[in-house]
Amino acid sequence: MSVVDKKEITVAEAKALLETKAEELDPLQRRVLDYTVRFSKTESGDSEKLVSELMEKGSIERQLAVQLANCMPGSIAEIRTFLGRQRIISEEAVNSILTIIKKYKANP
């Protein structure tokens, strides 16, 4: 098997990929599937939309958007933890990111 494409994916997307091949997974892959079932915060389709919206409206790169979608922070302080000291971002942008995340958190 060779790598065709490489990109960051959310835990929910990994869960969806592993569930499609559940019968043919090796023990390590089964453990990863178990992890994704436990820690996925959204459904695969919602997480893809969330990442896209964070990249578009939040003006952040994919890697950070995936991290935010995986953890679903609930406050500005939590979002700033992901941004780190290297990244300066306006209060308005952080509020926009938080609003987007809350919209997807509300979906059952």
Q: Give the pLDDT band of residue 31 (cuts 50, 70, 90).
A: very high
Higher pLDDT pick, 5 / 34: 34
DSSP notation for 9-63: --HHHHHHHHHHTGGG--HHHHHHHHHHHHH--S-HHHHHHHHHHHHHHS---HH
> For residues 64 and 55, what is the distance between their CA atoms, to the nearest angstrom?
9
> For residues 77 and 26, what is the distance between their CA atoms, to the nearest angstrom?
39
Nearest to 12 by CA among 72, 61, 58: 72
pLDDT of the residue at 1: 47
Do the domain assignments include residue 95? Answer: yes
CATH of the domain at 67: 1.10.150.80
The percentage of residues in the chain with a pLDDT greater than 70, rounded to a whole number, is: 94
What is the per-residue pLDDT across 2-20, written as a single tens digit (0 to 9) for each?
Answer: 678 889 999 999 999 999 9
- Sequence-separated (6 or more) residues with CB below 8 Å from residue 86: none
Q: Range of 80's domain?
A: 44-106
With a cut of 80, say whether residue 28 has pLDDT above it: yes
pLDDT of the residue at 106: 64
Higher pLDDT pick, 42 / 84: 42
What is the per-residue pLDDT across 53-98, written as a single tens digit (0 to 9) for each?
Answer: 999 998 899 999 999 999 999 999 999 999 887 677 888 989 999 9
Do the domain assignments include residue 13? Answer: no
Do the domain assignments include residue 91? Answer: yes
Do the domain assignments include residue 101? Answer: yes
**66 touches 51 (CB < 8 A):** yes
Do the domain assignments include residue 102? Answer: yes
